[in-house]
Amino acid sequence: MTSPADPGTLLDLGTLAAIGVMAVMTLFNRMAGFMVMRFIPLTPRVRRILECLPGAVIVAIVAPAAAHGDIAMAAGLAAALVAAKLLKSDFYAVMAAVVVGAGLRFIGV
């Protein structure tokens, strides 16, 4: 039996197999998405939906933590909403969220 501090325990066969399976499934999901989208006409409605997806995914990840009392995440989410509304840019909204969230974490909030 190896000790927990032994670097060999970090990359055992089971871990490598799990990483490999996750990589293959991620590749499959990405390719399947492209294949399925070939058969969906890009109407203005579908285009708007696809444009909203990145923001929706970020909110789906951050909102539960913010709702459970994580003040830094809630402030970052609020900063992102304000930046998105004022600047009309997803990039600047994400940057505002990162700066506010990381700044609050840095000062210990």
- Sign, CA torsion 84/50/31/16: positive
pLDDT in tens, 26-80: 999 999 988 998 998 989 999 998 888 877 887 788 788 888 888 998 898 899 8
Query: What type of residue is 61?
Result: I
pLDDT in tens, 94-104: 899 999 999 99
User: What are the start-end ranges of the H helices in the chain?
Assistant: 13-37, 44-67, 71-87, 90-106
* Cα dist from 70 to 34, 54, 93, 105, 106, whole Å: 36, 22, 19, 10, 14
Report pTM: 0.55
Please give the radius of gyration of the chain, using alpha carbons only, rounded to the nearest integer. 20
Angle in degrees, 0-180, between the axes of helices 44-67 and 90-106, rounded to the nearest 10: 10
